[in-house]
Chains A and B, each alone.
Chain A
Amino acid sequence: MSRQQHREELIKFLRSIQRRDSAIKEVDDSQSLVESGLIDSLAALQIVSYLEEAYKIDFGDNAIDPGDLRTVGTILDIIERVTTS
């Protein structure tokens, strides 16, 4: 899968966990998801679960930096790192 396809899948997932009062329409890769109010900090857990399930990422081996889950771009970087290694 290309980065663009991963991106589309990710956006689809983020829409499924978006805040009720803040619908995700267009989101820039570098836009902070929490600070812009698109998702809340609790959603980071669901992003972790999503990455574990969809990409078999084992966060147990490495400490999570919640900062790495703050934008679409940084989440895609994690996916890319795992899928290419």
Chain B
Amino acid sequence: MTLTTLRDTYRAISQFHENEKLAAWLQSKRAIVWLTPGRRRQILFFGALLGGAIALFRRQSQWRDHLSATSWLAPPLALPILLALVYLLYLAATHFSRLPAAVRRRPQIALHLFFWLIIVLAWITPKEAGAWKTAIFLIAVSLPYLVWRCGYMLLSAQRGKAAGTAFRDHLFYIWPMWGGTNTPQGKGADYLTQCEAQSPDAYARSVLAGIKLLILARLWDLAQLLFETLVFANPKSPLASLLGEYGLGIPRARRILSGDVSVSLLTTWLSLYAELIWETLDIAARGHVWIGLLRLFGFNVFRNTYKPLLAKSIVDFWNRYYYYFKEMLVELFFFPTYVRYFRTRPKLRMFTAVFAAAFLGNMYYHFLQGRTVIAAGELAKIWASLSPRLGYCFLLALGIYVSMLRQQRKRGEAAPPNAGAALPRRLIQIAGVWTFFSLIHIWNLKGPATLFDRVGFFFSLFGL
């Protein structure tokens, strides 16, 4: 078997979703023909209602520590209130032109003020309110998940694209039945509609692309497990008894940072690079599941993670690592800042917009991640766990800004004649990106180390 045959076979297997015969076979199947865009959206709508109810019961079981009295009545009370809140925002989106001018100009700020109003309501509701206290707490805990998705609905309204849309066109992505993180995977109605398969042929291709991602997700899960066993030598890994003795035994970076283990400088560096690979496998596996499911429902959207470890610049890595998080920060923080401030000073304009997204937006998003603590009003606790992230977000924003400037300078010029063949140059660029993200991850590692402890740890990597 020649190398070319092997390459062709690999390509045929890995790119099976582009196989014309397979797509033609699938599109003739009854289920594909029956599942029209309208029916698919209907399934997603009812799935959202069901998923929303299940999520509330699950969340209720997570915050028993914060309340003395819990009640089975809370989720049935909270669900209609949450739906009513989302419906109210939907009405605001579809009647956007009738909203006060201040809200029309800054709908995202208005949305977050509304969110904080409910949080304050949760704080001031006395414990004696019983099931109502529990219900309002449950609503407050659920809101950080919904607020970014509702943000996309209002963004669509601001762009003049929400009028005439139905409630079901929004609820399925605001409360997707498969859950996910606070980041809206697949963004909102505008992008999903743009990517929606309208014919059986397009739907069959979307389904195949979805299946491919779901398979990849399982492969990355397996790779992550192997990596954990062979590199980190995790004794809890199910493969530990089988492969454990071959493990490199590199400790997790958070253990080195907290001083639990003492290792050489080389091992510390290796641990930081290993963390980057592990995190990338983790985000790729999880993102592929969410996007794979979206594709199964006919929304042939971009992957969440696309080969970030091959990125040649910081900005390219950020674009490929967690695409929908980056998109959210760009659309809700970067662009609004970019089009409003310092328009006559290009560098300052870009600097401000990058920091609004990668620093401010990033910090605020992670602040809202502490939803149970926020709803309980224990903001100091969040600050304690989040303050090291200031270093991460600051360095990330700075890196992206510098990288964007460099990219901008390069554009428009012809590529050097040997650019395509310069493999060592490419490898150096990739290594630079790995090093940057491995290093800034120091401020993102879990653990009690403070912002300044981590600065000290960073300098110790260079023998300082």
Contacts and interface: CB of A to CB of B under 8 A. Distances in A.
Given A48-B339, A67-B190, A62 B415 contact: no
A60 B339 contact: yes
Interface residues of A, number: 26
A48 B338 contact: yes
Nearest to B161: A65
B412 A18 contact: yes
B172 to A, nearest CB: 19
A29 interface: no
Contacts of A45: 338, 350
B415 A20 contact: yes
B407 interface: yes
Contacts of A42: 315, 404, 407-408
A21 B420 contact: yes
Interface string B170-213: 00000000000000000000110010000000000000000000
Contact of A20 (B316, B404, B413): B413
Contacts of A55: none
Contacts of B159: 62-65
B311 to A, nearest CB: 12
Contact of B158 (A17, A43, A63): A63
A27 interface: no
Interface in A45-71: 45-46, 48-49, 52, 58-60, 62-67
A16 B412 CA distance: 5
Interface in A5-62: 15-21, 23, 40-43, 45-46, 48-49, 52, 58-60, 62
Contact of B339 (A17, A40, A46, A64): A64
B95 interface: no
A20 B52 CA distance: 47
Interface in B377-428: 404, 407-408, 410-415, 419-420
Nearest to A68: B159
A25 to B, nearest CB: 13
A46 B409 CA distance: 12
Given A62-B159, A62-B160, A63-B159, A41 B339 contact: no
Contacts of A52: 339, 343
A49 B411 contact: no
Contacts of A19: 411
A6 to B, nearest CB: 20
Interface of A: 15-21, 23, 40-43, 45-46, 48-49, 52, 58-60, 62-67
